[in-house]
Amino acid sequence: MKLVIFGANGPTGRQATEQAITEGHSVTAVTRHPEDFPLRHARLRVAGADVLDPAAVERAVAGQEAVISTLGVPYGRRPVTVYSDGISHITQAMTKHGVRRLVCVTSTVLFGVPAPGETFLFRAVLEPLIARTIGRTVYEDMRRMERIVSDSDHQWTIVRPAGLFDADHVSDYQVATSRLPGRFTSRADLGNALLRQATGDRHVRAFVDVRTTEGAPSFLDVMRKEALGGRK
């Protein structure tokens, strides 16, 4: 397939790009800094574009068969609009060019229910602290993005992973349309899940959780390395 990946230069975007190329797809990797993109391949086109630039987004979407968005920004106090503004430009471009399949990333927090089997400390204190205080502006804009996507007439899937961490390989991860047990999703597994959704027809117009079941780090390690750095 012909795939365009927004946020391609983030850790998850690079995973999705590399796995797609390995599987034989043609990829347009969209990044604001194409000179820094580490991958090269005959089936890869690196497009320098800002998702907040509608004309640039339209050029990237034209001629594609599916769109993957791995947009991400760090936690902070200032209002966030990258998710909602970016997805607005993406869906508008998709409509103009007749591209139907859209897969994008938000967070398992947006299921609005506690993780099954989780401790009281995590369920009642730590996760609410992240969702309502540390990451409040990010999650507010993720919700706006989800509303824009779910109100559209595209064949969309919204993937809601848990805390992200790096792993060397794709594992036997779990996928479900309700919140799964566990706190973590590896970027390798998330990239693979995004690719499976974008190139298939399962879970159309659905919210999907992805959960890594092996080799997950501790909560404190992820918070130090990932959450405060905003790596998507």
Position 13: which residue type?
G
Cα 141 from Cα 146, distance rounded (Å): 9
Q: How many CA atoms lie within 13 A of 72 on its CB side?
A: 26
In 40-179 the beta strands, taken as DSSP E runs, fall at 44-48, 66-69, 101-105, 155-161, 163-165, 174-176
| Per-residue pLDDT at 122 | 84
Tokens of 115: 């993780």
pTM of the model: 0.92
The pLDDT value given to residue 121: 85
- Output the tens digit of pLDDT for each of the chain's 232 residues: 999 999 999 999 999 999 999 999 999 999 999 999 999 999 999 999 999 999 999 999 999 999 999 999 998 889 999 999 999 999 999 999 999 999 999 999 999 998 888 888 888 888 888 888 999 999 999 999 999 999 999 999 999 999 999 998 999 999 999 999 988 999 999 999 999 999 999 999 999 999 998 877 666 666 665 555 545 6
| pLDDT score for 220 | 67
Nearest to 211 by CA among 185, 232, 190: 185
Q: Are the beta carbons of 203 and 177 closer than 8 angstroms?
A: yes
pLDDT of 189: 98
For 2, 42, 107, 114, the CA distances from 232, given in Å and listed in that order, are: 23, 26, 11, 22
